[in-house]
Structure 1
Amino acid sequence: MAHVHILHEGNSLSRAAQDALQRAGEQWTPMRAAVFDALTAFGRPASAYDIAEAVSKAENRRVAANSVYRILDLFVGANLVRRVESANAYVANAHPDCLHDCIFLVCDNCGQTTHIDDDSVTERVRSAAEQAGFAPVRPVIEVRGRCEDCAKR
């Protein structure tokens, strides 16, 4: 049976993230909301430094990247945000109520990153790791290449 996602965006995404974080026993503070909103405003993977700069401008005060990193770590743990390992950057999870292993398609030209779910692929990765005596916690697969728009150029 296929899994159906509810993909959130805009206010719906912020509300879904807030609900998921609170279900995880954490508070949705104004700073956490500001970090989440700044991340979603980028529309592409953003580093903690990018987010700190955006929040600093919005709040008219300096926000340290270390504070943003702590919040992002919390968000990753609560499935609100995914980390694009090769770019050391983050993207909002458009379906925080679903727990899947990540497959990212990363454009080497423009940086666009698309998150897809294919549980059959990630289950095979998990199985191969287990057969090698490794206990996988959360596989992240990144496929580097060119997005559709850049491939046309």
Structure 2
Amino acid sequence: MAQHHHHEHEGIALADAAKTAFEKSGEQWTDMRASVFDALSGFVKPASAYDIAEAVSNAQGRRVAANSVYRILDLFVTANLARRVESVNAYVANAHPDCLHDCIFLVCDNCGQATHIDDDSLSAGVRTAARKAGFSPERPVIEVHGRCSDCE
């Protein structure tokens, strides 16, 4: 299995890497965007926009609308700061926002944990199959549902 290796950031280093990547994409790193990223990166499982809005609201002591969070999350996904776990309509912070690649999520149907793995050969195969079918792939989404090792 061909795996993609890179440096994964955590904590303040992750926030700094996200800010740098976001600004390189031509976007501004505002206080609200920083707050949404901090909340998102604080979750250990994929978080919905509503979960993130609640966390930001609690941190700021004022209500933050989920619609605002959705817009920011869309920007984060476009700029590679976050990944959307499509099947559960939730998001995870990208631990390596300075590295653009396809990813695979292993989603536990029991506890909700989503493990992100990289396998360039698998995503390349998906892209090749799509092209052979006359389709121009932009972003393969590969999610595998089952049970994680903690829940077996």
TM-score (structure 2 length as normaliser) = 0.96
Residue ranges of structure 1 left out of the alignment (5+ in a row): none
Distance 1:44 1:12 in 2: 20
Distance 2:6 2:130 in 1: 27
Q: What are the residue-to-residue correspondences of 1:28-107 with 2, within 5 Å?
A: 28-107=29-108
Q: Which residue in 2 is equivalent to 1:113?
A: 114
Equivalent pairs counted in the alignment come to 151
Once the two structures are aligned, what percentage of the paired residues are identical? 74
Distance 1:79 1:96 in 2: 5
Q: Which residue in 1 is equivalent to 2:126?
A: 125
CA RMSD of aligned residues (A): 1.2
For residue 140 of structure 1, report the CA deviation from its aligned partner.
Answer: 1.0
Runs of 4+ in 1 over 3 A off after TM superposition: 1-4
User: Once the two structures are superposed, what CA deviation does each residue of 1:28-74 show, in whole Å capped at 9, x if it has no partner?
Assistant: 11000000000111111000000001101111111000000000000
2:76 maps to a residue whose letter is F
Distance 2:4 2:47 in 1: 28
For residue 102 of structure 1, report the CA deviation from its aligned partner.
Answer: 1.7
Q: Greater relative contact order: 1 or 2 (C-alpha under 8 angstroms, separation 6 or more)? A: 2
For residue 95 of structure 1, report the CA deviation from its aligned partner.
Answer: 0.6
Residue ranges of structure 2 left out of the alignment (5+ in a row): none
Q: Which residue in 2 is equivalent to 1:5?
A: 6
User: Once the two structures are superposed, what CA deviation does each residue of 1:74-122 show, in whole Å capped at 9, x if it has no partner?
Assistant: 0000000000000000000001111111200000000010111100000
Distance 2:141 2:5 in 1: 21
For residue 2 of structure 1, report the CA deviation from its aligned partner.
Answer: 7.2
